[in-house]
Structure 1
Amino acid sequence: MIPGASMKRSVTCFILLALLLSTLPSLASAGEKSPAPGEIRLTVIEDSPGELLLHFEAPPPLFTSEGVPIYPGVVSTAPEGYPLLPHISRFLTVGEGRVRLKVHLLRWGEASAGEIPPSPPPCPDMEEVFREGMKGDVYGRDDFYPGRWAEILEGGHFREYHLVLLRINPIQYNPVRGVVRYALEMSIEVISSPTLPPPPAHPDISLFLKGVSFNWPWNFEGSPPPPLSSGAEYLIITHPSLMPAAFKMACWKAKEGYTVKVVNTTETGCSALSIRRYLERAYGEWNPPPLYILLLGDADLVPTNYFYRHPYHGTLTGTDHWYSTLSGTDYIPDVFIGRIPANNLTEAFYIVNKTISYRTSPPSNLGFYRNVTVAAYFQDSNRDGYEDRRFVKTSEEIRDNLTAFNYSVRRIYYTPSYVHPTHYNDGYSASGEPLPPSLLRSNG
């Protein structure tokens, strides 16, 4: 049931993670002979220096009642005003310099389609009314959009490793003819410089990139770290008043095997810019350079960065991400960064002690690891029973996926008492399907 409890609408922030997860399609394993219905498979055929050969295979797309092509679990996105089409994106590890693609379409199909809606403008959470997208010039062209079956988008670096984003566009749409072409099978050759950096010296780097990069080439084999002359893998930046708690965390991290250094804002400087400059010097000059950065203290004690203006209401937005992009001009972080937002020493010790306790005595209750809560807001501004945006639908997709892996999932959905939900949203990444009976008010 979707109750009318007095929960703040801020629960919709949970959907940000949901949207991220929902962009990941279900990929068949390399051992299967063909994808299951609605499933997409992308496999590495050959990965040699300077050349990566991928094989893509997919079934025909499904079509909504309005004739819009979709793949289950694949979100459709596009620039504002362009047709909302599904795509699959994967980070790749490549050599430095220019990256080229050679795409060979092996099998494809064609079908009539309804009018695919345009991507709407960004809709801030504070807006009650969902804004439909305005059709761009592409809708008047007798041509197939986006025109490329695959493309390389702007990438960046995680430390010394070059990452690019491969975007596969399995559906091409001609809005004038009302026709879509869809890829059933293709090979994708990614060509780059044959020179790669050496394998990482720290296992955490390899573990992270193995999860991010589709073709991460190395498994960590326990190579020894470089000789320690200065620097530390784990850097704690704190306020002078919180140093005792910082030292306790440092001692624990040292027991876990990290080299640790603690500095306070007297040493780094008290402004965001001075902290950034300190981190840049540490990253460029220390041996080893920092891999983890912990900011211990709230933003009034250890400042955050208020450089970026919000594109909608123009206010400055605080973010610590700025501290993590220490190499190049891209937005891919080069270090792992986090903050304990303690206001005083008592709070700092409480969080540090709780963190250490969790590591030394993890919860033994199985439910701690198997119970999940999804939360969302059912937005229905015109009170017709249809969701304005896919908040609840996305949460339900995540719930369905988790329950398939034997997680126990609790729902927390909110809508005002005068709203009577009956259907998911219609026209934007959904086609107005009825809500599951368990979510109807009539069923409790």
Structure 2
Amino acid sequence: MRKSVLPKKVVVILLLITSLVTSGFSQTGKYQYNDSWGKPGLQLNEQRSSDVMLTYSIQDFSIAGKQINGEPMHEIVLSSHLLPNKAGAPNLPGNGYMLAIPNGATARVEITNSRIEIIENVVMEPSPEIPWDTDKSPLRYIQDPSVYTKDAFYPAQPVIVSTPSALRGVNVVRLGITPYQYNPVTKQLKVYRDIKIQVIAEGGDGTYGTERLRSRWWDPILKNSIVNSQVLPEIDYAKQIAAARSSNEYEYLIITPNDTEFVAWADTISRFRNMQGIHTGVVTLGEIGGVNAIALEAYINSIYADWQTPPAAVLLLGDYGTNMNNTIISPIWDNYCVSDNIL
């Protein structure tokens, strides 16, 4: 039987094509570091009066090959880092962490030590545009030319810190860590295997949080959200609840339309919550004196500012509408949806 033999020219072309395709994915695979300075992610090392010492470590990650717009590119897969970067920028995994700082303080950050590995010949995919949930078209990967034509590492800093904001009366900053930097011209990827970080508080009065705003319902959220939550002072919740009961202030407040049927259901919920041990009260739109979003927000802001024990949560009971007898208003966000989260 005669064997079929490909011409040498065809074989050479096939080998060349195979070489080009596989070279585009030559850096793919799993990268492991067995001598990390700490556990994966961010670890709190030391909390001092004016600064916080932290360690961020990577123990393993993967580089995967994929086709983007018909071109071979690379994607970084790092555990627990799921959100894409800014649309059009190199899709480098990053994460944010919340830190408490003293009341009235600001913060700055310094990298005190790090270990870096450089991986050559990486073609990083751009971050896709996050579509609306109604957009069923394929993800769009469009390179931002201001980043991809620049001979510089992106982002400029792997660790940044935000301006302060408040979380239930606690002065907090967000620490942003992107343990990679990418130069799209040289195609070099910097991997920050380990980073020693110092967050320095500047100014402030040395105290943390606002005792009046502390809550037995909010404190578990604070402890889960804030890396150094141990700086928050202990609170006597029993004393706090007793003070609220004696002054007709509520941990849980129900705002209801004026109609007696709605008030009856609000009272039913209130009794159930009180039986659970959650001090609950009911207020009608008539007592508030308005049905529009401005009036509701002004009322909620006033009790949050004035009550010795502000509510941990507010329930708006009723369907959307402007008739205060049987509906309740909520703001419309971006002409798109009704949302009480704007209040």
Q: Same fold (TM over 0.5)?
A: yes
Partner residue, 1:101:
109
CA contact (8 A) 1:203 1:220 kept: no
Q: Are residue 78 (structure 1) and residue 90 (structure 2) matched?
A: no
Note closer, same or farther for the CA distance 1:286–1:169 as it changes in structure 2 (3 Å cut). same
Partner residue, 1:215:
228
1:149 corresponds to which of 137, 148, 158: 158
Note closer, same or farther for the CA distance 1:33–1:254 as it changes in structure 2 (3 Å cut). farther
**Distance in structure 1 (CA, Å) of the matches to 2:149 and 2:166:** 39
1:195 corresponds to which of 204, 207, 210: 207
| Structure number with bigger Rg | 2
Q: Are residue 256 (structure 1) and residue 265 (structure 2) matched?
A: no
Partner residue, 1:303:
329
- Structure 1 residue 198, shift from structure 2 partner: 5.2
**Distance in structure 2 (CA, Å) of the matches to 1:89 and 1:61:** 18
Partner residue, 1:235:
253
- Structure 1 residue 152, shift from structure 2 partner: 1.3
Note closer, same or farther for the CA distance 1:171–1:274 as it changes in structure 2 (3 Å cut). same
SS in 2 for 1:253: helix
CA contact (8 A) 1:112 1:180 kept: yes
- Structure 1 residue 163, shift from structure 2 partner: 2.1
Q: Which letter does structure 1 place at the counterpart of 2:49? A: P
CA contact (8 A) 2:122 2:189 kept: no
Partner residue, 1:185:
194
CA contact (8 A) 2:258 2:286 kept: yes
**Distance in structure 2 (CA, Å) of the matches to 1:205 and 1:33:** 38
**Distance in structure 1 (CA, Å) of the matches to 2:149 and 2:337:** 38
- Structure 1 residue 187, shift from structure 2 partner: 0.9
- Structure 1 residue 202, shift from structure 2 partner: 2.8
- Structure 1 residue 169, shift from structure 2 partner: 0.9
SS in 2 for 1:203: coil
Q: Which letter does structure 2 place at the counterpart of 1:83? A: P
SS in 1 for 2:229: coil
**Distance in structure 1 (CA, Å) of the matches to 2:310 and 2:79:** 43
SS in 1 for 2:81: coil
**Distance in structure 1 (CA, Å) of the matches to 2:210 and 2:167:** 14
Q: Unpaired runs of 5+ in structure 2? A: 1-33, 66-72, 322-326
Q: Are residue 265 (structure 1) and residue 291 (structure 2) matched?
A: no
Q: For structure 1, which segment, 144-153 or 186-195, has the greater mean C-alpha deviation from structure 2 after superposition? A: 186-195
Deviation sequence 1:265-316 (CA, Å, 0-9, x none): 112211121111111111111232222211111223111111x31xxxxx34
Q: TM-score, normalised by structure 1?
A: 0.59
2:135 corresponds to which of 111, 115, 127: 127
Q: Unpaired runs of 5+ in structure 1? A: 1-31, 310-314, 324-444
Partner residue, 2:168:
159
SS in 2 for 1:105: strand
Note closer, same or farther for the CA distance 1:270–1:78 as it changes in structure 2 (3 Å cut). same
CA contact (8 A) 2:182 2:189 kept: yes
Q: Which letter does structure 2 place at the counterpart of 1:179? A: Q
Deviation sequence 1:19-46 (CA, Å, 0-9, x none): xxxxxxxxxxxxx98589xx72321111
Alignment of 1:318-397 (within 5 A): 318-323=338-343
Note closer, same or farther for the CA distance 1:85–1:49 as it changes in structure 2 (3 Å cut). same
Partner residue, 2:299:
278
Q: Which letter does structure 1 place at the counterpart of 2:328? A: V
- Structure 1 residue 234, shift from structure 2 partner: 1.4
Partner residue, 2:55:
55
User: What is the RMSD of the two structures over their aligned residues, measured on CA atoms?
Assistant: 2.5
Q: Are residue 116 (structure 1) and residue 127 (structure 2) matched?
A: no
CA contact (8 A) 2:168 2:214 kept: no
Number of residues paired by the alignment?
Answer: 284
CA contact (8 A) 2:37 2:55 kept: no
CA contact (8 A) 2:84 2:128 kept: no
SS in 1 for 2:142: coil
Partner residue, 1:170:
179
Partner residue, 1:87:
94
Answer 1 or 2: which has greater strand percent.
2
**Distance in structure 2 (CA, Å) of the matches to 1:123 and 1:173:** 25
Taking every aligned residue pair, what percent have the same amino acid on both sides?
A: 22
1:291 corresponds to which of 312, 317, 321: 312
- Structure 1 residue 76, shift from structure 2 partner: 4.9
CA contact (8 A) 1:233 1:259 kept: yes
Q: Which letter does structure 2 place at the counterpart of 1:114? A: V
Partner residue, 1:206:
219
SS in 1 for 2:196: strand
- Structure with more relative contact order (C-alpha pairs < 8 Å, separation 6 or more): 1
**Distance in structure 1 (CA, Å) of the matches to 2:135 and 2:42:** 38
CA contact (8 A) 2:62 2:76 kept: yes
SS in 1 for 2:198: strand
**Distance in structure 1 (CA, Å) of the matches to 2:337 and 2:60:** 43
Deviation sequence 1:179-230 (CA, Å, 0-9, x none): 1011111111111243323556532221121111122124856452173434
